[in-house]
Amino acid sequence: MTNIQILAANKGRRFNWPRIFGYDFFISFKLGPPPIGAQSYASDLARRLRELDFTVFYSEEEAPPGAKLDTTLLKALHRSRILVVVANEGALVQSLWVRKEVEEFRRKHPKGSIIPINIDRAIEKYGPRWLDHDGRIWLDETKLALDEGITSPELLKRLEVAPRFVRANTMLRWVLAFVFLGLTGLTALAGYEAWDANRKFKNATALRLVAEGGSMTSGLRPGGPTKGLFKVIAGHRVDRSVNTDEALQTEYLKFSQQIYVRENAAGIKSAAFSSDGRYLVSGNGDNTIQLWDAKTGQPIGSPLKGHDESKAGSAFSGVTSVAFSRDGTRIVSGSNDMTVRLWDVKTGHQPLGEPLYGHDSMVTSVAFSQDGNRIVSGSYDETVGVWDAKTGESFFGEPYEDGHNHSVLSVNFSPDGTRIVSGSDDKTLRLWDPMTGKPIGHPLIGHSEEVTSVAFNRDGTRIVSGSGDKTLRLWDPKTGKPIGQPLTGHSETVTVVAFSADGTRIVSGSKDTTLRLWDAKIGQPIRQPLTGHTKGVISIDFSPDGTRIVSCSSDNTLRLWDAKISPLNETFKRNDIILVTSVAFSPDGNRIVSVSGDKNLWLWDAKTGQPLGEPIKGHVGLVRSVAFSPDGTRIVSGSYDKTLRLWDAKTGQPIGQALTGHTEAVTSVAFSRDGTHIVSGSGDKTLRMWDAKTGQTLGKSLKGHGGVVRSVAFSPDGTRIVSGSYDKNLRLWDAKSGQPIGQPLKGHEGYVTSVAFSPDGTRIVSGSKDRTLRLWDANTGRPLSEPLKGHGGWVYSVAFSPDGTRIVSGSGDKTLRLWDAQTGQLLGQPLTGHTEGVSSVSFSPDGTRIVSVSKDKNPRLWPVFEGWAAELCKKLPRNMSHQEWREWVSPDIEYIEQCPGLPIPPDEPKTTIPVIEAAQP
């Protein structure tokens, strides 16, 4: 007979009863057409019995000779109550399988019912002993019924009523089913209520976390920036929503200029780079010194102890000043314990020699000479000291006393070591001869309040000073005269100043909590202030290459900043590009293509922002639109020269000839999802379809718009096209026939400049000259909400995120904006940085970045959503510990790693003291 079950007994039914109750009938028959087989007849019998609400098993695939009854068949036999045997000649004489099924059923169910269906009196003719039909009632069926494969009504009626217990069991099934469904419903309801309660709890927890975290990073709530960032990122991980996305964006913008932030509960009073930029040293409020890896921000070893820790504890205590020697082998520090100390960078465990005594009050400032042989120090005792860096002896026995009549707040050597400059509470600067200990010339007068910080530039031709009068001043050290006007911009005392190594820039820190960059030549500020500290800045230093700045503040943090002049997110740079008009990511997210008014295409590395090769040339007019093929191997572009062109995305070489057909500028191009077709829109008010392989136009142009077709897009399944036009309307088209679908989508009050399908194809977003976006039902063409308002200029470009939950728009108001794709709600603050209108935007395939282009020439990359979280994680040294998670988040929410790749510390972290190499000169 048969061996392999391929037809479920209750296919298409609302419930698979055999899983609980087994089968009512097992039909055994000989496979094949009559007169030998009974396949069609058995199939019809099974179907008719199911219609009467019985469960039936039968199989219709022939088993190989000599095979055993397989597991599925055996299980069905064992779980069946009645065995029906279609007893024709083939089953009784030629089939071993029918006999095996009968014998196995009788072995398993000795008292079970076996009902033979006697086809054309076959039992009387061939009745074998194994059927055990003697004394049993069988059902007669005609040969015609078998030949036609249709069960006779009379037989079906008798089969239905004969086994009464089966009917009783059917009713029991329904009773049990109702009970089961009731219990299932109650369980489902309870499960839903538990799920809903858990969801609401997570949502409430996430909102609490981002609110608390934001207050901490802003200094409005105790806890500090590290804990604050932990909470905001954890809130996003616990429950992503518009609110947590907005919180991430707020923190990203707040910390975007900072490379990382580190905290010390005792306070960080001073910081400096090593001469090779590999290390940082900080002086701490507990009178210890800490070494750091400048790249990662990880502390190196335990704090170095040597200053008098009993003097720590007040706002003015701690290691007030630190500096590396030029060769990077030593550190000098000054403290409120009135001493100067030297440290060996390589061993780092003990200070070198005894403390340098001589000052009678707090040491406020220390510095090495360029050759590393001498140290200069300034003190509240109104003196300047010079020391032999090898022996620790004072050059002149006593600190210089003749000069300042108030506290010396800052000191520094000139690059050639021939002069010292000092700044004092007496509102003056003084120059000193380090060989004689005598002041040089008269005091430098110009500030109206204390001079808090002084520094020479690289060639010693300029001095910069900061003052309590909120200004910086530049000075000529030869004449002692100020250069130009004071540099104004800070709103409170300028506490610290420093030149970049090349002398072209100055950085200043202030009690107003900000850092400012200045052009050292013209004295003008460079870009916006660096914000993030929540209390006054007390120490700063440039890295040797001028790309980073370290600062520390009364907020107990050390922060590393990006000191590059280029504005936020200006990742790509080519001065020979003009008027960038369109941009797109490759499908793998590794490349970006942009097109511009120079008639060329440019390929870029999406990670480094570097151009990949030379510009791609071929068009003779401004290139207006560009797109990658879905497999990333080709690029299509559309130009004001009225043509489309296909390009090899790897080599940049053109593929075939220009695609001609439009009579005006090609304004928009797009590939279908399978890469076989291209659609283009044009100033000639039409769309055209193209074979992406041959470049041949497909059919006639698609007509229906009354103005320039400004934007086109395929639906994800490739069956439809949406277009937006200067006639203020959108239109849907059948991609196969080229016919319009329904009426135009009306609603915008200005040109429709951009359109896009959602990834699931159910929605369309459009942008317009009327400064709004609109969401549409892609099936009905109806608007899904009121216009989305937030831009102050034309909306030039719109795009869905890959998961369809968010929308990005670019506008003539020079900003990008993010939106919730379901509700249309604005998300967070505008992304600013472009200096001209944003003409094109696109999400990366993973949804963590956006690329935008503008008339300001170059593409820019912006992290978004998970990208914001990743950028914030770069500021942190680690994840929360599990104990911190329980305390700060909730013991009822399972631990979620906030920053994959960062260490998760144990609940009781242990510290080690590794040894570092000396920095190289």
For residue range 296-322, list pLDDT tens digits in order: 999 998 999 999 988 877 767 899 999
* Residues 508, 499: Cα–Cα separation, whole Å: 9
pLDDT of residue 76: 87
> Taking 50 as the threshold, does the pLDDT of residue 9 lie above it?
no
> Taking 80 as the threshold, does the pLDDT of residue 919 lie above it?
no
What is the torsional sign of CA 193, 197, 202, 207? positive
In the chain the first and final C-alpha atoms are separated, in Å, by: 90
Q: Taking residues 206-221, report their average pLDDT.
A: 93
* Residues 748, 746: Cα–Cα separation, whole Å: 6
Q: Give per-residue pLDDT as tens, 63-111.
A: 555 556 677 788 888 888 899 999 998 888 888 788 888 989 989 988 8
pLDDT of residue 613: 85
* Residues 892, 209: Cα–Cα separation, whole Å: 14
pLDDT of residue 577: 54
Q: What is the pTM of this model?
A: 0.73
Q: Give per-residue pLDDT as tens, 575-589.
A: 555 556 788 999 999
Could you check whether the bond before residue 153 is cis, i.e. omega within 30 degrees of 0? no
pLDDT of residue 316: 72
Confidence tier at 18 by pLDDT (50, 70, 90): low
Strand 319-324 and strand 299-305: pairing? unpaired
Identify whether the C-beta of residue 164 lies closer than 8 Å to the C-beta of residue 172.
Answer: no
Percent of the chain with pLDDT over 70: 90
> Taking 70 as the threshold, does the pLDDT of residue 399 lie above it?
no
Least confident of 263-267, 488-492, 690-694, 907-911: 907-911
Identify whether the C-beta of residue 29 lies closer than 8 Å to the C-beta of residue 96.
Answer: no
Q: Taking residues 388-415, report their average pLDDT.
A: 84
Whose CA is closest to 452, among 320, 291, 329?
Answer: 320
Strand 56-57 and strand 23-28: pairing? parallel
919 or 681: which carries more pLDDT confidence? Answer: 681
* Residues 449, 112: Cα–Cα separation, whole Å: 110
* Residues 17, 516: Cα–Cα separation, whole Å: 76
pLDDT of residue 781: 93
| Percent composition of the chain: helix, strand, coil (DSSP 3-state, to 5) | 20, 35, 45
pLDDT of residue 12: 37
> Taking 80 as the threshold, does the pLDDT of residue 166 lie above it?
no
Confidence tier at 461 by pLDDT (50, 70, 90): very high
Q: Taking residues 833-862, report their average pLDDT.
A: 89
pLDDT of residue 71: 77
pLDDT of residue 133: 76
Question: Radius of gyration of the chain from Cα atoms?
Answer: 41
* Residues 505, 524: Cα–Cα separation, whole Å: 10
10 or 649: which carries more pLDDT confidence? Answer: 649
Q: Give per-residue pLDDT as tens, 746-785.
A: 999 999 999 999 999 999 999 999 999 999 999 999 999 9
Whose CA is closest to 5, among 59, 44, 75?
Answer: 59
Contacts of 275 by beta carbon, 8 Å cutoff, 6+ apart: 324, 325, 326, 327, 328, 544, 919, 920, 921
> Taking 50 as the threshold, does the pLDDT of residue 916 lie above it?
no
* Residues 209, 232: Cα–Cα separation, whole Å: 6
> What DSSP letter does each residue of 87-134 carry, written as one string?
E-HIIIII-HHHHHHHHHHHHH-TT-EEEEEEETTHHHHH--GGG--T
Least confident of 10-19, 494-503, 528-537, 844-853: 10-19
Confidence tier at 169 by pLDDT (50, 70, 90): low
- How many Cα atoms are found within 13 Å in the side-chain-facing hemisphere of 39? 11
Average pLDDT, the chain: 88
CA 239 to chain centre: 15
Count the Cβ atoms, other than its own, within 10 Å of residue 94. 13
Contacts of 332 by beta carbon, 8 Å cutoff, 6+ apart: 322, 323, 325, 340, 341, 342, 343, 366, 367, 368, 375, 389
